[in-house]
Amino acid sequence: MVSVPVQAGQSIFDITLQEYGDISYVHQLLRDNTSLTLNSNVNTGDVVYIDETIKGEPTVKAYFKELKKQGRFPVNFSDFDGGSYNLDYNNDYDISN
């Protein structure tokens, strides 16, 4: 196992993509970090453990490795402008339900 520090704004899904190159490995991440669940929030500086023997998707892993070499932070959800969302699905002007 190798330890990976969580970067600002990252989720367990961001870390899974960064380290394994494939989001489907999120269950492997959870197996290796038993204190985490799919709903877990991780904080900047937290450490997660990655099984370095798993090959994952090499192209995506190489992309993130290059970002690290360039000194750029890994991509995370907060890097994307999600735009505005209509939370009032049935347009009744009540978003409490």
Q: Given a cut of 60, is residue 46 above it in pLDDT?
A: yes
pLDDT, mean over the chain: 81
Cβ atoms 18, 66 nearer than 8 A: no
Look at residue 94 and tell me if it is in a domain. no
Domain count, the chain: 1
> What pLDDT is recorded for position 63?
84
Q: How many other β-carbons are positioned within 10 Å of the β-carbon of residue 61?
A: 17
Task: Please check whether residue 35 lies inside any domain of the structure.
Answer: yes
Whether pLDDT at 26 is above 80: yes
Separation in Å, CA 51 to CA 67, 86, 95: 21, 40, 42
Does pLDDT of 92 surpass 70?
no
Is the pLDDT assigned to residue 73 strictly greater than 70?
A: no
* Three-state SS at 4: strand
Percentage of the chain modeled with pLDDT above 70: 73
Q: What is the span of the domain harbouring residue 10?
A: 2-79
- Find out whether 2 and 33 touch, Cβ atoms under 8 Å: no
CA 58 to chain centre: 17
User: For residue 59, which of 15, 22, 16, 10 has the smallest C-alpha distance?
Assistant: 22
pLDDT tens for 47-68 read: 999 999 998 888 888 888 888 7
In a domain, 96, yes or no: no
